[in-house]
Amino acid sequence: MENIKYPKNMSRDTILKEGVDNDYYKPPINEVIQHDEVSAVEQVNKKDYGRSTELYNEKMLAKQWRQHFITIPQSGQNHAELFENLKKASVNIKYLCVAKEHHARGGDHYHIYIATTSQAIKIAQIHRRIMETKGDIDGSINYQQVKTAPAVITYIKKDGNFLEYGTIPKRKNDPASAGSSADIDKLLIEIYNNEESLEDNIQQLKEKYPSYYTINYEAIIARLEAKENVAYKRWKPPEYNSTNTKLKPYQERIWELINTEPKTRQIIWVNGRPNSGKSFMFNYIDQNYDYGIYSAGSTASLDNAVYGYDGQGAICWDIPLNYNYADMGDALASTIEKFSDYGQTLTSRKYKGKKIQVRGHVIVFANRGVLPQLTHRDIIRINTRDDETEEQKLATWNITKKLLPKGRTIWLEEQMLHGQMSERRIYHSKAELPIEVLEDVYNQ
């Protein structure tokens, strides 16, 4: 085993007891069994650090401040025990406040404010007392220096569920609020253009930036309220429904298909040239379909596709013209195929994982024909130009079909040359036509 360096004021036994998991202290170890390259490590304190555990490194733990603001996310620790342990962190503590706040996603947040008069306290001293308090912590503890004590104290006391000790040291020029206008703008810019409610925006900020929100919450709420009171005009997208829209024949066929129960292994593949109405049909389904629509975009990742799916009745891929089929075709086909197994349960390993049953039609909008990797499935091929004649379709490719006297058929492709149309190429059989022509005109 490698040599482990410990801080001067902490023994190995103390480290194992505290359970500090970082790149300075090693994880608590009860038994290490080494066999070739295999080792089993059992953590004796059984504390769950969560998936987003921060590495509490030497540099961070060595920082010392006179005022600390700490947030413990989703904690299962006891309020009173945590409070009593923190009181022992240093004899220099003049004021301590530990507030408990219920968290919507389970567990509780703890907000802690610690102040001294003259001598600063190291983060390591506080961290040690937090980690020896029984109970799991799902996430990383956030430590920040406080420059605006009144704002922090006002916030953490707002719910009334707090324990405090000592008296708040008075400091010169302590402002009543914190955060410059520029700082707050940086924090709010990501939600300024959304249409969520004030409560939803506040909750979003609290969960994403708990410490900064706590310190600046008064100013942030004031800015959000001001934003909500400004009535901006917004362009309204067109609405499509059966009373104001006449669907093309191929669009009617799609609509009829998705209003019947899905079938296992079935894929509706809609191909056609750009500006032929594929995106319009997607929007029409989105606005009118009772079973909901899920946009998988052009993702070839099964984990991503499953994680975003919530049982909608239309599962749509919209493949762009420049899609890299050569590199991504196999993965894309595999993901689409999985979703075509109607009634099956799919699994995502993204974040905390997800399992969900497929309950919808699979629809692929593309500018090319069916992927060869999917031809073994039950493919319903729909061309956006199905309502046009063969002659009309060929004309868009500057191709003319001609029947020769002896009964043979040829295809003449013409291109512009010096401003005039001239015959450039002759195809003696349909098989010789370019693949994009075969897909667009003949659904092959």
**What are the residue ranges spanned by the domains of the chain?**
12-166, 181-229, 249-383, 390-442
- CA 179 to chain centroid, in Å, comes to 28
CATH topology of domain 12-166: Replication Protein E1; Chain: A, (3.40.1310)
Whether pLDDT at 377 is above 80: yes
Whether pLDDT at 54 is above 60: no
Whether pLDDT at 365 is above 60: yes
Whether pLDDT at 41 is above 60: no
- pLDDT confidence band for 244 (50 / 70 / 90): confident
- Show Cβ contacts of residue 128 under 8 Å, excluding neighbours closer than 6 positions: 18, 20, 89
| pLDDT of 193 | 59
Q: Are 412 and 391 in contact (CB under 8 A)?
A: no
Q: What is the DSSP string of 278-339?
A: HHHHHHHHHHH-TT-EEEEET---HHHHHHH--S-SEEEEE--TT--HHHHHHHHHHHHHHH
Q: Which of 17-31, 157-171, 409-423 has the lowest mean pLDDT?
A: 17-31
Tokens encoding 369: 């024909």
Name which residue leads in pLDDT, 149 or 366.
366
| pLDDT of 232 | 62
Whether pLDDT at 434 is above 50: yes
Q: Are 345 and 339 in contact (CB under 8 A)?
A: no
Q: What is the mean pLDDT of residues 358-363?
A: 94
289 burial (CB, 10 Å; 0-12 / 13-18 / 19+) is middle
CATH topology of domain 249-383: Rossmann fold (3.40.50)
